[in-house]
Amino acid sequence: MYNKRSDTATEFIDHDEIMASIQWAQDNRDNLPLIKTLIERADDCRGLSHREAALLLECADERLNGEIFALAKRIKHRFYGNRIVMFAPLYLSNYCVNGCLYCPYHAKNRTIPRRKLTQEEIAREVIALQDMGHKRLAIEAGEHPTMNPIEYILESIKTIYSIRHKNGAIRRVNVNIAATTVENYRKLKEAGIGTYILFQETYHKEDYERLHPTGPKSNYAYHTEAMDRAMQAGIDDVGIGVLFGLQRYRYDFVGLLMHAEHLESVYGCGPHTISVPRICPADDIDTRDFENVINDDIFQKIVAVLRIAVPYTGMIVSTRESAESRRKVLELGVSQLSGGSHTSVGGYTDDELDDDTTAQFDVSDRRTLDEVVSWLLDLGHIPSFCTACYREGRTGDRFMSLVKSGQIANCCQPNAMMTLMEYLEDYASPSTREKGLKMIEREARLIPNEKIRSKTMEYIRRISSGERDFRF
Ligand code: SF4
Ligand code: SF4
């Protein structure tokens, strides 16, 4: 029985409710006045329910689809302006006891080399990432009780925060590790993590169990209730996501929104981010084995409707997507992007490493961070290396209330420009620097609040004279 406030996975992600929502959406797909009403109502940025969002996803009317995409762009612009927050993944270890059928790190894959970074190797990877210009990382590790225990993760976080190379610093470490206990989440919170990220992969219980035949991850309830335990432990920024293509996309789309509604109703704060990975090839993984792979049009529609349904939630796209696919979804709602990524253990420092055979997934966008920054500037976006909210204690519901009141705009835009200025001073190529400086000059004048505008300009001048780390 569906109950969004329940603490039981199969009640807040109720199969019958998902099926009924999909059916309702399909029954109403030609009800154009209803769809039109939903689009008009969603313009107030208060979001949509999972059923309403399912109907927009189902809409096949060309004109109304045009309105849906236009609304997604408007909402994106209202909350995120032209800023894109940059980050990079850092793979610590690919030892894993799980049997996930879609991931090359699954325990039975004997061809992939296994590796776990020592603290010295982590320090070297972090220096390489700092030298690229990154300030925000997402650490990744397989699940292995003896090779990757929580103590290893905690020690690694400490190492990452401790490295200061030239003007570099990692200011926010987001963590993507397996579902764990409240006690371990508490330890992660104390270690000063940013967002705790865990993808559901698929919300369809039977398929989930088929895709995870062995290992602790095969426990659907334990995995699905992980964010509840994280929030009970005091981690108030959590990131959810599904791997589109494992189950039929409508099912996972509705499940994702029901999960967001559950967290919002129980903890007063929905997910901080939603990631939208699509299944892609890797060592031992052939996407032809998955019959539900989604095409670009559906992918873009999913991003647009998610933007409308949960306007306050950041949306992340990785280098799984090609440059062209990323360009399209950036306009429609994506607010965070990885750049210059390596998805294998040791990938930032080991030149011998072949990403094609050791990576968790094939990287479609192989450009360097500088190339991605330059490309974003060409497209009129401001690449932002901002980590201010977490460092100012603006997390969870404090963050959400600032976003909902629109006040966040007074922080994001100046912070984006100041962190971009740091990047241009320390890491950019001459041509990227030139474009970036023009962008800052143009955008700084547009800050509406006069006091913040003049403070921003002063800080930017001081950054060019060598000072660092200003923030609003
Ligand atoms: Fe292990 Fe994660 Fe890969 Fe599953 S998805 S095999 S848990 S690394
Ligand atoms: Fe993100 Fe906060 Fe920085 Fe805005 S000010 S970009 S919300 S960290």
pLDDT of 329 reads 96
What residues have CB less than 8 Å from 446, skipping those under 6 apart?
Answer: none
Separation of CA 205 and ligand 1 centre (Å): 17
- Per-residue pLDDT band for 355 (boundaries 50, 70, 90) equals low
Contact 174, 318 (CB under 8 A): no
Look at residue 277 and tell me whether its pLDDT is greater than 80.
yes
Q: Which residue pairs, CB below 8 angstroms and at least 24 apart, start in 60-63?
A: 60/29, 61/32, 61/35
| Region 425-451 average pLDDT | 96
In percent, the amount of the chain with pLDDT more than 90 equals: 88
| Region 32-38 average pLDDT | 98
pLDDT of 403 reads 80
| Region 429-456 average pLDDT | 95
Ligand 1 pocket mutation pick from 92, 95, 106, 275 by most atoms within 8 angstroms of CB: 106
pLDDT of 401 reads 83
Look at residue 397 and tell me whether its pLDDT is greater than 90.
no
Distance CA(319)–CA(329), nearest Å, equals 13
| Region 182-194 average pLDDT | 98
Separation of CA 343 and ligand 1 centre (Å): 13
| Region 315-324 average pLDDT | 92
pLDDT of 284 reads 80
Q: Which ligand is nearest to the CA of 143?
A: 1
Distance CA(78)–CA(448), nearest Å, equals 14
Look at residue 69 and tell me whether its pLDDT is greater than 80.
yes
pLDDT per residue over 74-111, tens digit each? 999 998 999 999 999 999 999 999 999 999 999 999 99
Across the chain, mean pLDDT equals 95
Q: At what angle do helices 32-42 and 50-58 cross, to 10 degrees?
A: 120
Separation of CA 105 and ligand 1 centre (Å): 6
| Region 260-289 average pLDDT | 90
Q: Which of 296, 292, 262 is nearest to 279 (CA)?
A: 292
Ligand 2 pocket mutation pick from 85, 236, 399, 423 by most atoms within 8 angstroms of CB: 85
Higher-pLDDT residue of 48 and 357 is 48
3-class secondary-structure state, position 456: helix
Ligand 2 pocket mutation pick from 387, 402, 471 by most atoms within 8 angstroms of CB: 387
Distance CA(233)–CA(222), nearest Å, equals 15
Decide: 97 in ligand 1 pocket, CB within 6 A: no
| Region 258-280 average pLDDT | 95
- Per-residue pLDDT band for 410 (boundaries 50, 70, 90) equals confident
| Region 183-193 average pLDDT | 98
pLDDT of 354 reads 65
pLDDT of 405 reads 80
Decide: 144 in ligand 1 pocket, CB within 6 A: no
3-class secondary-structure state, position 31: coil
- DSSP at 289: G
Higher-pLDDT residue of 315 and 350 is 315
- Per-residue pLDDT band for 154 (boundaries 50, 70, 90) equals very high
Which atom, in ligand 2's list, is nearest to the CA of 411?
Answer: 5
Highest mean pLDDT among 105-119, 282-296, 352-366: 105-119
Q: Which ligand is nearest to the CA of 141?
A: 1
- Per-residue pLDDT band for 360 (boundaries 50, 70, 90) equals confident
Question: Over 112-177, what HEC string results?
Answer: CCCCECCHHHHHHHHHHHHHHCCCEEEEEECCCCCCCCHHHHHHHHHHHHHCCCCCCCCCEEEEEC
- Per-residue pLDDT band for 358 (boundaries 50, 70, 90) equals confident
- Per-residue pLDDT band for 199 (boundaries 50, 70, 90) equals very high
pLDDT of 356 reads 60
